Amino acid sequence: MANQHPIMAMPRRSETRHAQEDKKQRQATGLALPLLLTSIVAVLVAGTDWAQRWLFSGCAIESLLVIYGAGRGSRIFSDVPLWTLLATGNLLYAIASTSWLLYGIFSTLCYPTIAVTCLIQFDSVATFARKNLRKILKQLHFTRDKIALFNLPALEIDTDVHGLMVIRGITISLSRLTIVAHGVELGMKLVDDIELAMYADEVNIPLFRRVQVSDVYGSIKGGKAELFFGEVDTSQGDLVDDDFSILGDTPLLRAATARAEGFTERPKQKLRKSQMGVDKMKDSSPWRGFDFVKTLSPDDDKAEKQYEAMLEEIRTSSTIYQSRQAVMHQMSSDSESEYESTPENDNDMRAAVCAELRQLPSIAHPPPRSVRVTTLQNSSPPWFRRFTHRLPFLLRLLLAVISYFHLINISSITVAASGVFAAAMLQQEVFKQYATENAELRRLERRVKTWLTDANFCLQLTGINGMAQVPLSTAWDIVAWLKFNDIMAYRTAPEKAEVSQVVRLGGADATATIPTFLLPHHEHVVPSMPTESEMEDLTHEIDEADGIPKTIQVKEKAKKVRKDETAISMSVHASLPATFDQSLMDFVAALVKATKIIELEKEFDEFERGGDAAATPPMSPTTSPIDDALSTTTTSSGTMSDTTTSSNARFKDLTKNLRQNLKDGTTGQQIKDLAKDLQQKTDTGFKGLQHKTNTGFKELSQNTKRMQKVMVSGMVNDRWIAKMVGKIALKLQQAQGDVGYSGEIPMPLAPYRAVEGLPTKILP
């Protein structure tokens, strides 16, 4: 076609001209029917009362607008046939016209529908509305059929846990009924020394269809050096007045702003042309971008460019993008080959990005204002709170519709944690003081800690689908399901730029069962406090239970009733087969050997403590120390028994001579000499006895320690443990089925019970 003669191109130009003429003719023909129907409606309204009522309700206006839109080729709900749409709307009006209440509700809903129809079908109306709204509402951004909100206040979580949630931008598409959140950041302080940070670039919510979330990255931080809100004292009151709904000076905001300065001031990674096709926009802070958005141009083209520039700024300044660019830069410098996008490479890339994110603050772009969760909870007027309290069925109905239509799809969740924390836990709970007394344990401890402390560990879940079911009846519980397509664990060494997959499973699924009475305003169905008669019935039920399993179940039930608790049931199943890296298997083998040695050390310590207690019984209060020493040595050995017998004989001879001398009238000096001689002989006998006893115990202790070493070396064998670990790993690589765990999360019932003075329920 490139070498085609110019004359051959002339028919194509004529075809284009004919197509344009046909389009104009169809538009003129399409407007004829709406004009005809408008004339008919005008005549009916002028002559009949029912047509006037039809017109005032808005149904006639909406019908004519839909017909005009069909003639122009820009009708709403284009997938629905025109006459089906018109018949449905007028049928609803016919039903509503039979009652003044239904007529009022229909009219109230119809006029906003007319406004939306005009905005979608007619460009002139949409342009006029956007230009005027930009002048009035400076914080909103109107472009085409979208409404964008930037510079939103952060959500300050001040309930059971404390943290901040930041959404950098929100886009609402009217034509597609879609809400998109850009740049989501979450920093949450779980306990005093553990913190969770989550990041997501985009959350897409098509209303009444689903919830689509992009790649989610998380980081678990522990220790004072890593904590983001570590020095924040959330127990003390703020310096601001709680009466204001939007706060500007709170401890969480101050901590977020202080920690985020280093991230916002550092140079950004440049955007590659190969990825976006255009150069990166000028470097500017987010606040300058927000100020730029506030001064909007009434022109649609300029407003569209500003909107796209702001989204580009949010995307390129996000922590995920910056970490990904840093990882790709490091990969390109280490290797000459270009990055090739494959499923396996994408998984490794996500693990490397998540490890890089650990160095960044939990909230990298804090806004200057925040709104608290408790403020939002108390912001509704009292009459509305009374209304929702008296009709809890409406809450269940709303949640049932939302949960049914909004299935959750998450591309992936990758969470990283440092191995230093795991090594510290092993030292505290496993090794303790045993490693200082055993050279083999010290070697194993160094081996285990080296594998942990030199790396970060990432858990990656891909292809996540979630669904929940909220029943309309309180007789049933809320059930939620989660399905994971793939599960992987990575070990990343940032200093060596290594990313290795250590565990991979075939998938997993989880189920959670939540009692319905845990929902707000459902205190009327919370179980009452247990009475004495109920406890007696449970005791009688335990006695009459048939078999051990039933007895244990009833005992567990009685335990919950006695503690006044309920439970959220959790069930998790992992799908086999599973693969394991050789380095992980070596780590497991070393840890197994260390735990076995520690168990044997504990057993020997208990044995030695028991032996000492048996060998040296406590001294009886009715006997003398000499008698105790003699009785102890008598039961020690044959040699000790002979020594004791000879000592007793000498002692008897001395006492016999003493009595005889006293009868014969022996002087005091002779008695003293005899007593001195008795003391010397007694001391000599006891010293010999003590020396022999100590020598025997030393030999026994040395023999016990030699025996202990022989038993440990025989029972804890490196080759045997490695062989067993290898066999188990090989079996898991070929196994089919699921491996699961089921448990319960206890929940106290007292906070959910009703207090006095609440209004009664109308529709429970």
- Position 4 pLDDT exceeds 50: no
Q: What is the pLDDT of residues 471-480, one digit of tens each?
A: 999 999 999 9
| Beta carbons of 138 and 294 less than 8 angstroms apart | yes
Q: What is the pLDDT averaged over residues 237-243? A: 44
Residue 731: which H helix or E strand, with range?
helix 718-734
Candidate from 46-60, 190-204, 227-241, 634-648 with smallest mean pLDDT: 634-648
- Position 34 pLDDT exceeds 90: no
Q: What is the C-alpha to C-alpha distance for residues 749 and 518, in angstroms, rounded to an integer?
A: 9
368's CB contacts (< 8 A; 6+ apart) are 248, 253
pLDDT of residue 163: 87
Higher pLDDT, 378 or 404: 404
- Position 638 pLDDT exceeds 50: no
Burial 328-349 (b: 16+ CB within 10 A, else e): beebeeeeeeeeeeeeeeebbb
pLDDT of residue 22: 53
Higher pLDDT, 217 or 599: 217
> CA-based angle 480:482:483, to the nearest 5?
150
Higher pLDDT, 416 or 240: 416
Candidate from 96-105, 446-455, 751-760 with smallest mean pLDDT: 751-760
Side chain identity at residue 696, one-letter code: G
Q: What is the C-alpha to C-alpha distance for residues 654 and 685, in angstroms, rounded to an integer?
A: 14
The band of 553, judged by pLDDT with boundaries at 50, 70 and 90, is confident
pLDDT of residue 49: 86
pLDDT of residue 410: 95
pLDDT of residue 275: 30
207: which DSSP letter? T
Q: What is the pLDDT of residues 694-723, one digit of tens each?
A: 555 555 555 555 555 555 554 556 677 777
How far from 554 is each of 103, 562, 601, 708, 745, CA to CA, in Å?
57, 12, 40, 46, 18
pLDDT of residue 462: 94
How far from 610 is each of 425, 601, 616, 698, CA to CA, in Å?
30, 14, 10, 17
Q: What is the C-alpha to C-alpha distance for residues 350 and 199, in angstroms, rounded to an integer?
A: 13
3-state SS class at 4? coil
Percent of the chain with pLDDT over 70: 69
Q: What is the C-alpha to C-alpha distance for residues 155 and 184, in angstroms, rounded to an integer?
A: 11
pLDDT of residue 337: 55
3-state SS class at 526? coil
Q: What is the C-alpha to C-alpha distance for residues 597 and 591, in angstroms, rounded to an integer?
A: 10
Candidate from 181-185, 450-454, 633-637 with smallest mean pLDDT: 633-637
What mean pLDDT, rounded, does the chain reach?
76
pLDDT of residue 648: 54
| Beta carbons of 203 and 214 less than 8 angstroms apart | yes
Output the six-digit token pair for 254: 């101050």
Q: What is the C-alpha to C-alpha distance for residues 375 and 246, in angstroms, rounded to an integer?
A: 9
Side chain identity at residue 83, one-letter code: W
Q: What is the pLDDT averaged over residues 42-61? A: 88
- What percent of the chain is helix, strand and coil (3-state, nearest 5)? 55, 20, 25
- Position 244 pLDDT exceeds 50: no
pLDDT of residue 624: 36
Higher pLDDT, 514 or 381: 514
- Position 255 pLDDT exceeds 50: yes
User: Residue ranges of the domains in the chain?
Assistant: 20-121, 152-268+317-379, 390-415+444-523+569-577+741-764, 530-563, 595-616+630-720
- Position 133 pLDDT exceeds 80: no
Q: What is the pLDDT of residues 488-536, one digit of tens each?
A: 999 988 777 778 899 999 899 999 999 999 998 888 889 888 888 888 8
Q: What is the C-alpha to C-alpha distance for residues 492 and 511, in angstroms, rounded to an integer?
A: 31
DSSP character string of 214-251: --EEEEEEESTTT-SSTT--TTSPPSS-TTSSSBS--H
Q: What is the C-alpha to C-alpha distance for residues 712 and 204, in angstroms, rounded to an integer?
A: 59
208's CB contacts (< 8 A; 6+ apart) are 177, 405, 406
Q: What is the pLDDT averaged over residues 195-202? A: 93
3-class secondary structure per residue, 597-635: HHHHHHHHHHHHHHHHHHHCCCCCCCCCHHHHHHHHHHC
Higher pLDDT, 251 or 363: 363
DSSP character string of 255-321: HHHHHHHHHHHSPPPPPPHHHHSSPPPPP--HHHHHHHHHS--SSHHHHHHHHHHHHHHHHHTSHHH
pLDDT of residue 691: 58
Instruction: Check: pTM over 0.75? Answer yes or no.
Output: no
Higher pLDDT, 683 or 410: 410
Q: What is the C-alpha to C-alpha distance for residues 308 and 549, in angstroms, rounded to an integer?
A: 64
- Position 467 pLDDT exceeds 90: yes
- Position 294 pLDDT exceeds 60: no
The band of 659, judged by pLDDT with boundaries at 50, 70 and 90, is low
Helix axis angle, 300-316 to 286-294, nearest 10°: 160
Q: What is the C-alpha to C-alpha distance for residues 110 and 564, in angstroms, rounded to an integer?
A: 51
Q: What is the pLDDT of residues 676-690, one digit of tens each?
A: 665 565 556 555 555
| Beta carbons of 252 and 164 less than 8 angstroms apart | yes
Q: What is the C-alpha to C-alpha distance for residues 100 and 751, in angstroms, rounded to an integer?
A: 44
pLDDT of residue 30: 58
**β-strand pairing of 370-372 with 154-158:** parallel
The band of 735, judged by pLDDT with boundaries at 50, 70 and 90, is confident
pLDDT of residue 215: 94
**Closest C-alpha among 455, 437, 435 to residue 590:** 435
637's CB contacts (< 8 A; 6+ apart) are 696
497: left (phi over 0), alpha (psi -120 to 50) or beta: left
Q: What is the C-alpha to C-alpha distance for residues 125 and 119, in angstroms, rounded to an integer?
A: 6
Higher pLDDT, 631 or 340: 340
Q: What is the pLDDT of residues 565-602, one digit of tens each?
A: 999 999 999 998 999 988 888 888 888 888 888 877 77
pLDDT of residue 266: 59
